[in-house]
Structure 1
Amino acid sequence: MFDAKIRPLIDPPLNAVGRGLAKIGLTANMVTLLGLGFGLGAAYAVTVQHYDWALALVVVSRILDGLDGAVARATQKTAFGGYLDIVCDFIFYVSIPLAFGIADPVNLLPAVTLVAAFTITGISFLAFAVTAAEQGAETSAHGEKSFFYSTGLAEGGETIAFFLIMCLFPMHFATLAYVFAGLCVVTVLQRSVLARTSFRD
C-alpha cells in the first residue's frame, strides 16, 4: 500500500549508492543474494531469541533488497535477476514467521497461518504479473521492475514494518501474525477484484 508512495523518496539515494556498488564490481545478483543471506541471518537470530540482532539484520537485508535493483539500473537489468529477486524475497518472507514458530512452540500455529497467508498472497501476485504480461499491461508505480507489480493492502513495506514490530515485541507475535495474515487475505481479494476488472477476456 505504501510502496508506490515512498518510491519517489527512496529511489534517488538508492540509485546513487547502486551506482557506487556497480563501480566497485558488485552485480545486482550478488547484492540480491547478500540481502537474502542477511535475511536468513535475521531468521536464525529469531530462532535463538536474539531479537535485537534480528531487527538489525532485517533492516540491512531490506536495504540490500532495495539496492539490487539500483545496481541493475546502473548496469544491466536481466530477466534472471528479476526472477532471483522475487524468489529471494519470498524465501525471506517465509523464514521470519517460521523462525518465530521455532523459537517458541506457542507461536507455531500463528506462524504457519502467516506462512499460508504469504503463500496465497504470493500466488495472487505472481498470477497477476503473468496475466498482465500476457495482456501487455505496464506500470511504473513501484519503480522499474522486471514484471508487473500489482498494488495491494499488504505489500513489501507493510511486511517489513510488521517484521520489525515483531522483533521489538516478540511476546505479541501471535496477535501480530494473525492480524497480518488477515491483511494478506484482504490483499488477495483486492487483487482478485482488480484482475476481474482489468483483464480482457
Structure 2
Amino acid sequence: MFDAKIRPLIDPPLNAVGRALARIGFTANSITLLGLGFGLGGAYAVSQEHYGWALALVVIGRILDGLDGAVARATKKTAFGGYLDIVCDFIFYVSIPLAFGIADPANSLPALMLVAAFTITGISFLAFAVTAAEQGAETSAHGEKSFFYSTGIAEGGETITFFLIMCLFPMHFAALAYIFAGLCVVTVLQRTVLAWMSFRD
C-alpha cells in the first residue's frame, strides 16, 4: 500500500549506494543472496528467542534486498535476477512465521495461518504479473522492476513493518499474525477485482 509512495524517497540513496557497490565488484545476485542470508539469520534468531538480534538482522537483510535492484540498475538487469529476487523474498517471508512457530508451540496455528496467507498472496501477485505480461501492461509505480508489480494493502513495506513489530512484541505474535493474515486476504480480493477490471474481455 505504501511501497509506491516511498519509492521516490528511498530510490535516490539506494541508487547511490548501488553504484558504489557495483564499482567495487558486487553483483545484484550476490546482494540478493546476501540479503536472504541475513533474513534467514533473523529467522533463526527468532526461533531461538533472540529478538533483538532478529530485529537487527531483518533490517540489514531488507536493506540489502533494496540494494540488489540498485546494483542491477547500475550494471545490467537480467530476467534471472528478477526471478531470484522474488523467490528469495518469499523464502524470507515464510521463514519468519515459521521461526515464531518453532520458538513457541503456542504460535503454531497463527504461524500456519500466516504462511498460508503469504502463499495465496504470492500466487495472486505472480498470477497478476504473468497475465499483465501477456497483455503487455507496464507500470513504474514500484520503481524499475523485472515484471509487473500489482498493488495491494499488504505489500513489502507492510510485511516488514509487521515483522519488526513482532520482534519488538513477540508475546503478541498470534494477534499480529492473524491481523496480517487478514490483510493478506483483503489484498488477494483487491488484486482479483483489479484483475477483473484490467483483463476482462
Instruction: Supply the distance in 2 between the matched residues of 1:198 and 1:90 (Cα, whole angstroms).
Output: 26
- Separation in 2 of the partners of 1:200 and 1:129? 15
Paired position in structure 2 for 1:177: 177
- In structure 2, give the amino acid aligned to 1:51: Y
Matches within 5 A, 1:24-43: 24-43=24-43
1:138-193 deviation digits (Å, cap 9, x = unpaired)? 00000000000000000000000000000000000000000000000000000000
Letter in structure 2 aligned against 1:116? A
Matched residue SS, 1:90:
helix
1:65 and 1:117 mapped to 2: Cα distance?
22
AA paired with 2:68?
A: D
Name the amino acid aligned to 1:102: I
Q: Partner letter of residue 187 of structure 1? A: T
Q: Which residue of structure 2 aligns with residue 196 of structure 1?
A: 196
SS class of match (1:44): helix
TM-score by length of 1: 1.00
Question: Counterpart of 1:92?
Answer: 92
Q: What is the 5 A alignment of 1:117-136?
A: 117-136=117-136
1:58 partnered with 2:58: yes
Residue identity in the other structure for 1:75: T
Q: What's the secondary structure of 1:49's corresponding residue?
A: coil
**Could you report, residue by residue, the CA deviation over 1:100-120 in whole angstroms, capped at 9, with x for unpaired residues?**
000000000000000000000
Partners of 1:96 and 1:20 lie apart in 2 by 31
Q: Which runs of 4+ in 1 moved over 2 A?
A: none
Aligned amino acid, residue 17 of structure 1: V
Quote the residue 1:82 is aligned against. 82
Aligned-partner SS, 1:76: coil
Gaps of 5+ in 2: none
| Residue 44 of structure 2: aligned partner | 44
Unaligned stretches of 5+ residues in structure 1:
none
| Offset of residue 84 of structure 1 | 0.1
SS of 1:142's equivalent in the other structure is: coil
CA distance in 2, matches of 1:132, 1:85: 19
Could you tell me which amino acid in structure 2 is paired with residue 71 of structure 1?
V
Name the CA distance, whole Å, in 1 between partners of 2:166 and 2:188. Answer: 23
Please report how far the alpha carbon of residue 200 of structure 1 lies from its aligned counterpart in structure 2 after TM superposition. 4.0
Q: Distance in 1 between matches of 2:200 and 2:183?
A: 27
Q: Distance in 1 between matches of 2:57 and 2:111?
A: 20
Q: For 2:84 and 2:8, how far apart are their aligned partners in 1?
A: 24
